[in-house]
Amino acid sequence: MTGVPAELRQVVDELKAEVAALHAELPRNNLVVWTAGNVSARVPGADLLVIKPSGVSYDDLTPEAMVVCDFEANLVEGERNPSSDTAAHAYVYAHMPEVGGVVHTHSDYATAWAARREPIPCVLTMIGDEFGGEIPVGPFALIGDDSIGRGIVETLRSSRSPAVLMANHGPFTIGASARAAVKAAVMVEDVARTVHLARQLGEPVPIPQADIDRLFDRYQNIYGQGSAQ
């Protein structure tokens, strides 16, 4: 463990505070139970990430509790073992340089779709807006190495979606920032629930691809007050 370079001290401390605060959004939005789930953020200008420690209560996730790892999932700074999903997060950062944040949850409805290994179809304007089409399913992979990360990257490289339902596991989301990845995690659970409810009434009607493209372009490039959607 070599430690964080002095020139990155301030940015790492700021990211620790941000990542700790964003973890609170997961139980607040009913996306996790007990100690499951994790949020990470890329450290700009270095092959490092900030993530929560493994198996620690959300009430105890202070900025000081956050750990720093390199892109080989080695601990660089911190007193506790990093999240068991650190290797997956690290692989995503190493192979998708545009990604600044990664989130994993076991949220009920999205995970139910993952258990069925079924993509969430684009039958709502919100899905077109945020995900640009169906929310895809990634391959089954076991926790412990970068297998999950490889599946995330392979799946999302061919999709506009910032979310992937890893088969028999649950959703992973990415974003230009950790906050954007958390937003995607909240939204994937919301649409997973709504589409499930719609299917209880009958088969939902897909949105034509041309309309999906228009929805996605408007939401990504016009909606809101700039970068904060």
Q: Which residues are catalytic?
A: 129, 223
Contacts of 201 (CB under 8 A, 6+ apart): none
Question: How far apart are alpha carbons 58 and 161 in whole angstroms?
Answer: 28
Q: Which amino acid is at 15?
A: L
Q: What does R_g of the chain's alpha carbons equal in angstroms?
A: 17
Question: How far apart are alpha carbons 78 and 66 in whole angstroms?
Answer: 7
- Whose tokens are 């601990």? That residue is 75
**57 touches 26 (CB < 8 A):** no
Strand partners, 82: 53
**11 touches 17 (CB < 8 A):** no
| DSSP line for 42-53 | EETTTTEEEEPB
Dihedral through CA 28, CA 29, CA 35, CA 41, nearest 10?
-100
Question: How far apart are alpha carbons 65 and 59 in whole angstroms?
Answer: 11
